[in-house]
Amino acid sequence: MNPSEVAELVADPGRGAVTTFIGTVRRLNLGRRVERLEYEAYAPLAVRTFERIAAEAAERWPGSALAVHHRIGRLNVGEASVVIAAAAPHRADAFAVCRYGIERVKQIAPIWKREHFEGGDVWVEGATADPDDTRAREDALRRACA
């Protein structure tokens, strides 16, 4: 998963700014020493969800483009699990779209991780995924524009 390849997906002469976000597997989580993560996805719905998020971003930031790449399976500490690339005519929107993209992926993409740590493992469960939850979407917009 090469970030520059994901960035190429959104490159366009009309978009002068490209930002990328790389999420990697962190050593410590909730005080636990993480050994590895195991990601699982409902792949066809995940792809549709990524497309939906890109459409939401294009609606809010006209002229922007968003690409999302997420790995599944076993990942070791330090490995990239997700790459987001955003492009827009100007940098402020490119940063905002990138932030919006990762926030929405975390909220609504059907992707789960099982954390293997010293002494056990656990499925990490956050919030119910609901793409029509307007409060969640507004929260992502607020974070993107902070």
Partner 1 sequence: MRVTVRLFARLRDLVGAGELARQVDPTANVAEVWGDLVREFPALAPYTSSISGAVNAEYARMDAPVADGDEVAFLPPVSGGGGAAGGGRAS
Q: Which is nearer to partner 1, 128 or 134 (CB)?
A: 128
Our finding on whether 114 is near partner 1 (CB under 8 A) is yes
Beta bridge partners of 34: 117
Our finding on whether 127 is near partner 1 (CB under 8 A) is yes
Kindly tell me which residue out of 13, 31, 44, 73 binds partner 1, with binding defined by CB under 8 A. 44
Six-digit token pair at 106?
């975390």
Taking CA atoms, 24 is separated from 27, 65, 130, in Å, by: 10, 23, 25
Burial readout 81-102 (b: 16 or more C-beta within 10 A, e: otherwise): bbbbbbbbbeeebbbbbbbbbb
Our finding on whether 31 is near partner 1 (CB under 8 A) is no
Our finding on whether 126 is near partner 1 (CB under 8 A) is yes
Minimal distance, residue 97 CB to partner 1, in Å: 17
Our finding on whether 128 is near partner 1 (CB under 8 A) is yes
Measure the CA–CA gap between 94 and 38, rounded to whole angstroms: 30
Distance of CA 16 to the CA centre of its chain: 22
Our finding on whether 48 is near partner 1 (CB under 8 A) is yes
Q: In the complex, which residues of this chain contact partner 1 (CB under 8 A)?
A: 30, 40, 42, 44-45, 48-49, 105-115, 119-132
